[in-house]
A and B are shown apart, each in its own frame.
Chain A
Amino acid sequence: MSKNTPVAIEYQNVHKRFGGANCNAVDGVDLSINEGEFITILGSSGSGKTTLLKMTNRLLDPDSGNIVLFGENIRDVSPVQVRRRIGYVIQQVGLMPHMTVAQNIAIVPKLLRWDKKRIDSRVNELTALVGLEPSEFLIRYPAQLSGGQQQRIGLARALAVDPKIMLLDEPFGAIDAINRLNLQDELKRIHGGLKKTFLFVTHDINEALKLGTRVIVMNEGKVCQFDTPRNIVKNPADGFVESLIHSCREQEKFWEGLI
């Protein structure tokens, strides 16, 4: 990244502990992410990766530390305002079952009182962007879509008002292997064309290394390593990262043993 690229997201010594827990869910995370990066956050369940993500759009608030988006401390912005500027995609998608695909994508534009013409053209554009045919899909209800199609719409909905930052929480976690690979490729393509900052949580090391321009490896609330996929594989920072890569290698051997 060049020195002129603005910093999109900055975590400053962020801590979060949930009531009743005896250790921090997020423990002193301190890092900055440049605009346009595709950051994957890799960790097992309980590593704090989702908590970190949810603090970025104020679904959760840190106990201490600051989160700064494009120079603005989000503590000073109302949660609703922060969220409307950020795209958010979750594993269960969460499409509104009582709304058509078109209405689902139009939710945030409507909240922002865009005029109907602008909404319609944006909805069409986005449906095409995520690889679905608008004339066929816009009038459907979520129940009439496959899991992969639903998540494409979830993605289109999150992109609706052209947010600079996209948060994706294991978006392909519930999708079969073949469709997941397709969706990963398309997400990469979409990211490449948009110059947005993506923050993508996953527990799948292959997905993390494939998609991320840089990867945050988290364990027990702490960042073990934050580097490019190449550097992570080459120089694992600690035993945890090493064991992750080792587990991946073991799998490779298993595959080769089958051939």
Chain B
Amino acid sequence: MELLQFAQRNYSLLLRALSEHIQMVLISLILSILLAGLLTIVAMFFKRIGTLITHLFSIVYSVPSIALFALMIPMLGIGRNTAITVLVLYNQFILLRNFITGLNEVDPAIVEAATGMGMTRTQLIFKVRVPLSLKPIFVGMRLALISTIAVAVIAAFIGAGGIGLLVTIGLETGNNNRVLWGVILSAVLGIVVNATLVFIEKKIN
């Protein structure tokens, strides 16, 4: 009951946290996809560089997110832009792994036929590989989005705002309701977004 009363009294605060969070997540996701798309194309032309990039980002991915945020502060300072940078870096491994594997796993017979017909490497990527890997590409984006929603909560530690701010301020001031609402909002957001995207994925198939 107390929890509901808190929400009633502070709903504008909660809404602002939620909208800040969604904004940060969407910006990060769009930038992540753009960067990963670019790197994937590079990887399709230069296999070695692709492997190297993927390894590099797997190392980044294995660093705990809170440590990564802390690492960035000396270089970029605190605030939302630093948070977005970290989220974008963090997403690369998830996206690249799905994009590159997806594009490489297209039926070799189809690739051979397309090459034999005289498609250039670029045409092969955009006319054959991409349309035939929409599923893994979409799965990668979904996983990145879910991960970003969760990791962005931690970004409040470096002053990025969003849902995480409810948790950090709540903890500092001993306001359990505030902390709980932060947890609830991030969990619900993650679950709802995931369920929606899984539903869309099934529809597409």
Q: Which of B31-57 contact A (CB under 8 A)?
A: none
Q: Is B120's CB within 8 Å of the partner chain A? A: yes
* A90 cross-chain contacts in B, Cβ below 8 A: 109, 112-113, 116
- Name the distance in Å between B58's Cβ and chain A's nearest Cβ: 29
Q: Is the CB of B110 within 8 A of A80?
A: no
If A93-B109, A94-B109, A94-B110 touch, whether A81 touches B116 (CB-CB below 8 Å) is: no
Q: Is the CB of A107 within 8 A of B131?
A: no
* B128 cross-chain contacts in A, Cβ below 8 A: 96
* B112 cross-chain contacts in A, Cβ below 8 A: 59, 90, 92, 94
* B132 cross-chain contacts in A, Cβ below 8 A: 96-98
- Name the distance in Å between B121's Cβ and chain A's nearest Cβ: 9
Q: Is A226's CB within 8 Å of the partner chain B? A: no
- Name the distance in Å between B140's Cβ and chain A's nearest Cβ: 19
**Which residue of B110, B114, B117, B131 contacts A84 across the interface (Cβ within 8 Å)?**
B117
* B118 cross-chain contacts in A, Cβ below 8 A: 80-84, 108, 111
| Interface membership of chain A positions 155-195, coded 1 if the CB is closer than 8 angstroms to chain B and 0 otherwise | 00110000000010000000000000000000000000000
A92 CA to B113 CA, complexed, in Å: 9
Q: Is the CB of A83 within 8 A of B109?
A: no
Most buried by B among A81, A83, A157: A83
Q: Is the CB of B107 within 8 A of A94?
A: yes
A139 CA to B116 CA, complexed, in Å: 24
Q: Is A51's CB within 8 Å of the partner chain B? A: no
- Name the distance in Å between B24's Cβ and chain A's nearest Cβ: 35
For the complex, count residues of B whose C-beta is within 8 A of A.
17
**Which residue of B110, B116, B123 contacts A88 across the interface (Cβ within 8 Å)?**
B116
- Name the distance in Å between A143's Cβ and chain B's nearest Cβ: 13
| Interface membership of chain B positions 99-127, coded 1 if the CB is closer than 8 angstroms to chain A and 0 otherwise | 00000000101111111111110010000
Q: Is the CB of A96 within 8 A of B114?
A: yes
What is the count of residue pairs linking A and B with beta-carbon distances less than 8 angstroms? 58
Most buried by B among A94, A95, A157, A158: A94
* A197 cross-chain contacts in B, Cβ below 8 A: none
A92 CA to B106 CA, complexed, in Å: 14
Most buried by B among A81, A108, A111: A111
Q: Is A66's CB within 8 Å of the partner chain B? A: no
Q: Is A57's CB within 8 Å of the partner chain B? A: yes
A82 CA to B118 CA, complexed, in Å: 8
* A157 cross-chain contacts in B, Cβ below 8 A: 117
| Interface membership of chain B positions 79-105, coded 1 if the CB is closer than 8 angstroms to chain A and 0 otherwise | 000000000000000000000000000
* B110 cross-chain contacts in A, Cβ below 8 A: 94-97
Which residue on chain B has the smallest CB distance to residue A54? B116
Which residue on chain A has the smallest CB distance to residue B113? A94
- Name the distance in Å between A235's Cβ and chain B's nearest Cβ: 36
A95 CA to B117 CA, complexed, in Å: 11
Q: Is the CB of A111 within 8 A of B119?
A: yes
* B116 cross-chain contacts in A, Cβ below 8 A: 57, 59, 83, 88, 90, 167
* A57 cross-chain contacts in B, Cβ below 8 A: 116
Q: Is the CB of B131 within 8 A of A88?
A: no
If A94-B114, A98-B131 touch, whether A80 touches B120 (CB-CB below 8 Å) is: yes
* A81 cross-chain contacts in B, Cβ below 8 A: 118
A95 CA to B116 CA, complexed, in Å: 12
Known: A92-B112, A95-B110, A167-B116. 10 other contacts (CB 8 A): A59-B116, A83-B117, A84-B118, A88-B113, A92-B109, A94-B110, A94-B112, A97-B132, A98-B132, A111-B119
Q: A residues engaging B (CB < 8 A)?
A: 57, 59, 80-84, 88, 90, 92-98, 107-108, 111, 154, 157-158, 167
Q: B residues engaging A (CB < 8 A)?
A: 107, 109-120, 123, 128, 131-132
23 A-B interface contacts by CB (under 8 A): A59-B112, A59-B115, A80-B120, A83-B118, A84-B117, A88-B113, A88-B117, A90-B109, A90-B113, A92-B107, A92-B109, A94-B111, A94-B112, A95-B113, A96-B132, A97-B110, A107-B117, A111-B119, A111-B123, A154-B113, A157-B117, A158-B117, A167-B116
The 3 closest A-B pairs by CB, nearest first: A94-B113, A92-B109, A84-B118
